[in-house]
Amino acid sequence: MPRDVLVLGAGMAGLTAALSLLRRGHRVTLLEYQDRIGGRLLSLPLGDGMFSEAGGGHFRSNMPYVLGYVRHFGLPLLALNDGLPRYMVDGMTASAADLGNWPWPLDRAERNVTIAASLNRYLQRVGLDTDTVLDARWPEGDAIEGLSNVTLGDMIRRVGASDAFCKLLDAHGGGFTSGSPALAIIPDLAYHFGDQNLFRIQGGNERLPLAMADAIGRDRIFLGSPVAAIDQSGGRVHVTTRSGRLFSGDVVISTIPFSVMGDIQVTPGWSAAKARLFAEMEWDQTVKVVVKTRTPSWLAKNARGWPMAGGDRSWERAIDITGNEPGGHGSLFFYLNGANADAVLARPGPNRGQPVVDQFRTDMPDLIDEVLAVQDFAWGEQPWIKGSFGGPPMGGGWMLREWSKPEGRIHFAGDFTTLKTGWVEGAIESGLRAARQIDAAAPAEGRPRIRQEW
């Protein structure tokens, strides 16, 4: 029996859920805060036909949903390089291309092998691996609490990792890595260290949500419609936008980030468990400083990819997404979190990202030939999310059960309702989960098929 479904948010999770339910004959309406589609897939034109990404920047081959959706919509791909970085930690520099000459006090077994290989070895020692942790059912039972009460660094130190290795891991994966709860960070590392095949969409990753919006029908999507109130006290659910427009449905899928849930009036009020979930989820405040260079000059210096450089410096990580994009210029961004992001935000004026680039060029003077343009994008400044990605804090294992449980006729989706937070794969997974709570046969797009013309 077809149902009237209101989907709140036209990012990847909302679009996935809407498309899936439409395929089953349900009537779907999407309400989107912004005047644009795509949420945290937000492409930035660099000129000369090149694009950078303020949000989701790349995908990997161990992401079957992303591959399926990209294939289904026939979007052209660019190939990117996996990271072959130069590190700068504790005032010392070394290249991942020159493993024998690392100056840090690494353990004997950590020498002469990549960081990925050592990390996988430590994960094996605690009974984990970079495949299993990407299963939507991982982890189960008692493992959830255990993994949410220990940081990744403490977990791998117990099975032999040195402090120097944990510092290198932070330089490669971002300053937050070893201090994060193991539960929240291990799937993230499984993407970074479990697959070396990277890609993005030519013309901008935003093309994927735009293609999905076309398939859904633009007339079903109301842009510039921030939801202000949800009332499920009667027979139907009523949703009111900030301008006072009223929509009604049998059921709602909310992909509104929990970081902005407090801006919405709900009747009856949220249960105590949902209110706690929204209040206690932790949201990063990532800033990206996006740079266009004359050429990808770092390639000649044996540094490249995701990341091209990493360290305990104010530039944290330099990420090269140039790959085989046509245009001839270099496309790079600095990916800043915590104190490094705060330092950019504290500066006045339009060029607040420039000191990050300057410091990088002082620390590694040979990697960038000429800077053609610099811009910054601060996720905490976006009123529709006020952050970049949300995840469970230490001791937050209980959140896993809570975020997948509907509240009355409101179902929840968004990458932050999975352990693949910060990844489009998680957004799609969550959209399908919410759609299947409403209709168990709701399908995904793009099952693998061999092209006949081969």
Residues engaged in binding ligand FAD (CB under 6 A): 8-14, 31-34, 39-41, 55-59, 226-227, 255-257, 260, 264, 286, 288, 379, 384-385, 388-389, 414-415, 422-424, 426-427
Please tell me what DSSP assigns to residue 80. Answer: E
Query: How many Cα atoms within 13 Å fall on the side-chain side of residue 223?
Result: 12
Spatial CA neighbour of 156 closest among 112, 134, 189 = 189
Tokens of 292: 């266009």
Shortest distance, CB of residue 13 to ligand FAD, whole angstroms? 3
Q: Shortest Cβ distance from residue 218 to ligand FAD (Å)? A: 15
Q: What is the CB neighbour count within 10 angstroms for residue 256?
A: 24
Nearer to ligand FAD, 106 or 336 (CB): 336
Angle between helices 64-72 and 424-438 (to 10 degrees): 80
Nearer to ligand FAD, 8 or 50 (CB): 8
Query: Please, which residue, 44 or 168, has the CB nearer to ligand FAD?
Result: 44
| Nearest distance in Å: CB 435, ligand FAD | 13
C-beta of 161 vs 356, nearer to ligand FAD: 356
Query: What is the rounded CA–CA span in Å between residue 290 and residue 331?
Result: 8
Q: Which CB sits closer to ligand FAD, 165 or 323?
A: 323
Estimate the crossing angle of helix 163-173 against helix 115-125, to 10 degrees: 120
Nearest CB to ligand FAD, comparing residues 310 and 426: 426
Contacts of 434 (CB under 8 A, 6+ apart): 13, 17, 253, 411, 412, 413
Tell me the residue number closest to ligand FAD, measured at CB. Answer: 39
- Cβ nearer to ligand FAD, comparing 16 with 178: 16
CA distance readout (Å), 153 to 73, 150, 163, 176, 375:
40, 8, 8, 10, 33
The span from the CA of 344 to the CA of 149, in Å, is: 32
Quote the least distance from Cβ 294 to ligand FAD, whole Å.
Answer: 25
Identify the helix (H) or strand (E) that includes residue 410: strand 410-412
Quote the least distance from Cβ 255 to ligand FAD, whole Å.
5
CB of 3: closest distance to ligand FAD in angstroms?
20
Minimum gap (Å) between residue 15 Cβ and ligand FAD: 7
Selection from 274, 283, 282, 279 nearest residue 403 by Cα: 274
Amino acid at site 252: V
